[in-house]
């Protein structure tokens, strides 16, 4: 445990001694399965919806709240967790911190990229049927406005690279996909996709909210141009903040679409007594890196403090180790549930954290039973999505299989 975390825990101990609610436990060295750092009740197999809080981010969030409680000016432009969180996320995806901007959400990040690239009647988008559903609505709305939009279909529980390639015409400026599908767990080969898109003159945006923290990502090796990730799923943080990566040699292709104080490098006032003379509101310089283009107003300092703690946990555990540990749980579900008549929606060789199946009237059949058993998954009218994480063991899979009788 590093010095900063020991200090954080000591501060929380002092706060608890003063009458505040104590933690359920102290953050501990992570081991797999890690139930100690995730002291929730029941069997939770729904991290693709929202990841449970662990003690590491809880400790960071509590320390932030304690500072705000006792020191009203403890957070501000010059004192916050933004840089620490960005550094940890950048390290997770093999990026430089200067290539990361903090934005309010994944979908805000995607919208900003679309606007900054000048997507319009002469610059279209290729996407696929397994992209995030709200993103598909975004592009459907653009199509209504006259923007060229092409959607590659699902084939054999996958999106075939050839289907995307065939749609990247000279009219298309951007290929936008979910690296890991929220619906089924299908994972693109991002490097191959980028090679194909770049060869045809298009850039690639990847929504990585169901990937970052769950599967290894290397933005430099893949060549991806842009990606974005909210922090409340596999990054194990909270709502209200996201990280937007911009490949540095693509900055010159982007135009500034929003302006705010977070982008200002220099600003000289000429409005008040004793200010030097000069034109009002014109003596300023804006930054031109990723944060200078896309950070506008005050971000969620609390959410950034929280995810700094959860990213510490992920680095201590290791994403590769998490993926290796999780795979037998996914394989067991892939093996057992089709025997019960559930139709696989996830490729059999998937290495993502999500596995999904189709079953008629799934929600009606299992919602009450799973609730009574204290088991949480994502249930839809005719689908079930299961997403185990670091706190699950094979015993949790056994309990789910016992409940999913047909």
Question: Which tokens go with 62?
Answer: 């509590």
358 and 217 within one domain: no
Residues 6+ apart with CB under 8 A from 181: 130, 131, 187, 210, 352, 354
For residues 147 and 115, is the Cβ–Cβ distance under 8 A? no
246 and 111 within one domain: yes
Considering the domain boundaries, does residue 30 fall inside one?
Answer: no
249 and 383 within one domain: no
333-359 average pLDDT score: 97
Give the pLDDT band of residue 24 (cuts 50, 70, 90): low
328 and 250 within one domain: no
292 and 380 within one domain: no
Its domain, for residue 261, covers 82-312
Residue 216, Cα to own-chain centre: how many angstroms? 13
Give the pLDDT band of residue 270 (cuts 50, 70, 90): confident
The model's pLDDT over 373-384, given as tens digits with 9 standing for 90+, comes to: 999 999 999 999
Given 288, 312, 336, the domain boundary residue is 312
Q: How many domains does the chain have?
A: 2
144 and 86 within one domain: yes
The model's pLDDT over 109-147, given as tens digits with 9 standing for 90+, comes to: 999 999 999 999 999 999 999 999 999 999 999 999 999
373 and 277 within one domain: no
Considering the domain boundaries, does residue 213 fall inside one?
Answer: yes
The model's pLDDT over 77-95, given as tens digits with 9 standing for 90+, comes to: 889 999 999 999 999 999 9
User: Helix 82-93 to helix 301-317 angle, to the nearest 10 degrees?
Assistant: 40
Give the pLDDT band of residue 204 (cuts 50, 70, 90): very high
How far is it, in rounded angstroms, from Cα 311 to Cα 96?
16
For residues 228 and 103, is the Cβ–Cβ distance under 8 A? yes
289 and 335 within one domain: no
176-187 average pLDDT score: 98
292 and 388 within one domain: no
Considering the domain boundaries, does residue 121 fall inside one?
Answer: yes
Given 312, 333, 350, the domain boundary residue is 312
351 CB-contact burial (10 Å; exposed 0-12 / middle 13-18 / buried 19+): middle
The DSSP result for 120-178, as a single string, is BTTBEEEEETTS-HHHHHHHHHHHHTT--EEEEPPBTTB--HHHHHHH--TTEEEEEEE
CATH number of the structural domain spanning residue 382 = 3.90.1150.10
- The helix (run of H) or strand (run of E) holding residue 84 is helix 82-93
Q: 126-139 b/e with 16+ CB inside 10 Å = b?
A: bbbebbbeebbebb
Predicted pLDDT at 20 = 34
Q: What are the CA-CA distances from residue 58 to residues 47, 346, 403 (Å)?
A: 17, 33, 31
For residues 213 and 188, is the Cβ–Cβ distance under 8 A? no
192 and 155 within one domain: yes
95 and 241 within one domain: yes
Angle at 109 between CA 108 and CA 114, to 5 degrees: 95
Predicted pLDDT at 254 = 98
Given 279, 296, 312, the domain boundary residue is 312
Cross-strand pairs, 101: 244
Is the pLDDT score of 191 beyond 70? yes
């Amino acid at each position: 445990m590093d010095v900063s975390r020991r200090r954080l825990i000591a501060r929380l101990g002092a706060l608890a001694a003063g009458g505040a609610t104590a933690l359920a436990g102290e953050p501990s060295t992570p081991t797999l399965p890690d139930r100690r750092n995730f002291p929730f009740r029941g069997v939770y197999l729904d991290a693709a919806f929202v990841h449970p809080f662990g003690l590491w981010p809880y400790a960071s969030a509590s320390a932030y709240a304690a500072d705000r409680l006792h020191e009203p000016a403890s957070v501000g432009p010059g004192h916050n967790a933004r840089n620490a969180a960005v550094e940890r996320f950048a390290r997770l995806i093999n990026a430089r911190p200067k290539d990361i901007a903090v934005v309010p959400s994944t979908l805000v990040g995607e919208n900003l990229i679309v606007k900054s690239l000048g997507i319009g009647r002469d610059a279209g988008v290729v996407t696929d049927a397994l992209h995030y559903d709200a993103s598909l609505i975004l592009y459907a709305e653009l199509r209504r406005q006259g923007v060229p939009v092409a959607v590659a279909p699902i084939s054999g529980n996958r999106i075939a690279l050839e289907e995307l390639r065939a749609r990247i015409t000279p009219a298309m400026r951007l290929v936008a996909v979910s690296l890991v599908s929220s619906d089924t767990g299908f994972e693109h080969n991002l490097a191959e996709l980028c090679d194909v898109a770049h060869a045809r003159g298009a850039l690639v945006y990847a929504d990585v909210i169901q990937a970052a923290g769950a599967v290894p990502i290397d933005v430099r090796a893949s060549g991806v141009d842009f990606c974005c990730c909210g922090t409340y799923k596999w990054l194990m943080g909270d709502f209200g903040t996201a990280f937007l990566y911009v490949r540095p040699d693509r900055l010159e292709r982007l135009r500034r679409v929003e302006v705010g104080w977070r982008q200002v490098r220099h600003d000289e006032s000429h409005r008040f007594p004793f200010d030097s003379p000069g034109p009002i509101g014109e003596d300023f310089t804006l930054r031109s890196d990723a944060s200078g283009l896309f950070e506008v107003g005050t971000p969620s300092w609390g959410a950034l403090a929280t995810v700094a703690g959860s990213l510490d946990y992920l680095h201590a555990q290791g994403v590769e180790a998490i993926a290796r540990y999780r795979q037998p749980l996914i394989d067991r579900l892939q093996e057992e549930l089709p025997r019960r008549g559930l139709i696989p929606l996830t490729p059999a060789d998937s290495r993502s954290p999500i596995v999904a199946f189709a079953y008629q009237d799934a929600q009606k059949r299992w919602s009450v039973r799973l609730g009574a058993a204290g088991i949480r998954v994502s249930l839809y009218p005719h689908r079930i999505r299961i997403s185990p994480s670091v706190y699950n063991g094979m015993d949790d899979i056994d309990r789910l299989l016992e409940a999913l009788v047909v």
